[in-house]
Chains A and B, each alone.
Chain A
Amino acid sequence: MTVVESLPAAPARSPSWWRSSPTGRQLRALVRNPTAMFGAAIVVLVLLCGLLAPLIAPYDPLAISADALAPPSAAHPLGTDDLGRDILSRVLYGARVTPLVGIAPVALSAAAGVVLGLLAGFSRGLVDNVIMRLIDVLLAFPGIVLAIAVVAVLGPGLGNAMIAVGIAGVPIFARVVRGLVLVEREKEYVAAARLCGARAPRLIFAEVLPNVAAPVLVLSTVSVATAILSTAGLSFLGLGAQPPQPEWGAMLSQGRDYLTDQWWIATFPGLAIAIAVLGINLLGDGLRDVLDPRL
C-alpha cells in the first residue's frame, strides 16, 4: 500500500457537511429563520423584476404618450406620469438600477474600509494613528452630509452619487475591521503563522482577513440597504440620477409636484424603495443572528 492510498479521501460535500460543518450549520440556521427567508424572497423578487423588466414591462419606460397623468387603470396598472410614461414599466426598469446603487457603493466602502482597517489594526503605532484620525474626521460628517459634500465637488449624476455614498461608508467599515483585527492579531493562529515565517502581507490578507470576513459580510448586507436609501435620497434632492432615467428616487422627486391630485406618481416608486430596503434589512438581520451576533 502506498502512502497516498493510506490517506483518507477528502470529504465530499454530502448531507453530513450540511449538518456538521460550521458553514453548513449557519446556512441551515439561516434557511430556518422565517424572517430572513421572507427578506430573501423579497430580494429575489426585486432582482427578478429588474432582470425580466424588458420581458414583463408593458411599455417602453421612456416612451412619452398623450395619456399623461392617467390614474391606475387596466391599461396602466400604476397610472402614468406627467409625460404619459407608464409608471409600472418605469418601476420595473428602476429595479434594474437598484442592485447597482446598492452594491457598487458598498463594494467601494468595503474595499477601502477593509484595507484601511486591516492596516490600522495590524500595524498600530503611527500608521494606526494617522488612519484613525482620518477616519475620525470623516465620521465627524453625518453620512448623507458627507455624500452631499462629495456630490458638491464631483457634480450631480447617478455615478457620482454612488461614489459619494461609497466614500461616506468607508469610515464605518474601517472602524469595524480595525476593532476586529485588534482582537484577531492576538490569537494563537496568527502567532503560529508568524513563527512559521509568514510576513505581514501574508498575515494580514491570508490569515486575519478570512477571519474577519463574516462580520464584514453582515455589515455589507446592512449597508446595501443604507446605500439604496442614500442614493435614492440624493436622486430625490436632484443630485443623483437625472431625468429621464427610470430611477426610483428621481421618479419620486418628479411626482412630488403632482402629489395633491396625482398621488400615484410619487407613491409607487417610494413603495418599491421601501419594499426592497425592508427585504434587505430582514435578510441582513437574519444573517447577523446567524453569522455574527456581536454586531
Chain B
Amino acid sequence: MAAYAIRRLGLSAIVVVGVSIAVFMMLRLVPGDPVSVMLSQGSTAQDAAALKHELGLDRSVFAQYERYAGNALTGDLGTSIRLHEPVARLIGQRLPATLELTVASLALATALGVLFGTLSAVRHGRLTDHLVRVGSLAGVSLPSFWLGLMLILLFGVELGVLPIAGRDGLASLVLPAVTLAMVPLGIITRMVRSSVLDALREDYIRTARAKGLGAARTLFGHALRNSLIPLVTVVGVQFGTLLGGAIIVETVFAWPGVGSLLIDAVSARDFPLVQGIILMIALGFVLVNLAVDLLYAVLDPRIRDSMETAA
C-alpha cells in the first residue's frame, strides 16, 4: 500500500506542477498585449508600465514562473486588479459558500442516487425502473441554468416558499443545492443501478439466497455493499463536475461563492483573480482525486496490486 501511495503522490505532484505552469501561461497566451487588455480606457503609458512591472511581465518567462510559483507556495496569488485586494483573501472569503453548496449537493446526489439506483435495479424492467431511467436521463439533459430559473419561478415566485437569491440560512441553500445536484444525481443513479444489477447476478448472491438469507439482507448485506465500492470513484469525479457546475449555479442564484467571483473576474479581465481561482479549483480537484484513489485502494486491494505490478 505504501508503494502505491508514494507512486500516486508522485503522479499528483507532477500534475500540480503542470497545472501551475498552465495557469501561469494563461496571461502569456492572451492575443496581443495582456496589459492593454486589462487596463481601462484612458490609462497612460506609465500605468501600463507599472502594471507590467507589478505582474512581472518585464522579466524573462522563466524568472516570471519562478516568482509566480514561489509566491503561490507561500499563499501569495497576487492582487486583484479590479478589487485591489489580495487574491488569496478574496478566495478565502468566498470559498466557504462554494464548499457549503458543493458538499450539500454531493450529499443529496449520493443519498438519492443510491436510493433510486437500488430501487431501479431491484424493480428491473418494471415501471419504477423505467421511471428512474427516464428521470436520470432527464437529470443529465436539463441545463442547470434553466432548471435553476424554473425552480426560482415555481418555489420562489409562484409558491413563495423558498428564497430565490443570496446566502441566508438553510432555506436559501435548498434551491441551489437541488439544481447543482441534478447532473451527479442522474450519473450516480445510473451507475448504482448497473452496479447492483451486476452484483445481483453474481454467484455469491445466489449462494446467500440458497442459504436462506432474506431478500433485504441479501441486498443490503451483500449486493449493495459490494456495488458501492465503485461509487467512491464516481463521487470523487462528480466533485470536480460540481465545482464546475457551481460556477453557473452560483451565478443563477447570486450565491456569493468563488464561481460567481470567477465570472465577474473573467468579464472584467482581472487576470490575477481569474488565475488564482482556476488554480485553486484545479488543485482542489487534484487533491480530491488523490484522496479518492487512495481510499479506493484501501477498499479494493486489487487496484493497488495492479498498480504495484505495473510500477
Of the candidates B11, B14, B281, the one whose C-beta lies within 8 Å of that of A141 is: B281
Knowing A259-B157, A260-B157, A266-B149 are in contact, say whether A274-B143 is a contact too (CB < 8 A).
yes
A70 interface residue (CB < 8 Å to B): no
Closest Cβ of chain A to B13, distance in Å, is: 11
Contacts of A263 in B (CB 8 A): 153
* Interface contact B248-A237, CB-CB below 8 Å: yes
Q: Please give, as numbers and ranges, the residues of chain A lying within 8 Å of B263 by CB-CB distance.
A: 148, 237-239
Q: Does B68 contact A (CB under 8 A)?
A: no
Q: How large is the interface on A (under 10, 10 to 19, 20 to 34, 35 or more residues)?
A: 35 or more
Binding site of A, secondary structure by majority: helix, strand, loop or mixed? helix
Q: Which residue of B lies closest to A260 (CB)?
A: B157
Q: Let me know if A278 is at the binding interface, CB within 8 A.
A: yes
Interface size on B, residues (CB 8 A): 48
Rounded to whole angstroms, the CA-CA distance of A145 and B26 in the bound complex is: 13
- Hey, what's the 0/1 contact readout for A134-167 against B, CB within 8 Å counting as 1? 1011101111110011011111100000000000
Contacts of B11 in A (CB 8 A): 136
Question: Are B26 and A233 in contact, with the CB atoms below 8 A?
Answer: no
Give the docked Cα–Cα distance between A225 and B138 (Å).
Answer: 12
Any chain A CB within 8 A of the CB of B42?
Answer: no
B19 within 8 Å of A (CB atoms): yes
Query: B1-49: which residues lie under 8 A (CB-CB) from chain A?
Result: 11, 14-15, 18-19, 21-23, 26, 29-31
Count A-B contacts at CB 8 Å: 135
**A133 x B137 contact (CB < 8 A):** no
Q: Report chain B residues within 8 Å CB of A140.
A: 15, 18-19, 282, 285-286, 289
A151-B266, A270-B143 known; A142+B149 contact, CB < 8 A: no
Determine how close the nearest CB of chain B comes to the CB of A211; give it in whole angstroms: 24
Q: Which residues of A contact B (CB under 8 A)?
A: 133-134, 136-138, 140-145, 148-149, 151-156, 225, 229, 232-233, 236-239, 249, 252-253, 255-256, 259-260, 263, 266-267, 269-271, 273-274, 277-278, 281-282, 285
Q: What are the 4 tightest A-B residue pairs by CB atom distance, in nearest-first order?
A: A270-B146, A142-B244, A137-B18, A144-B244
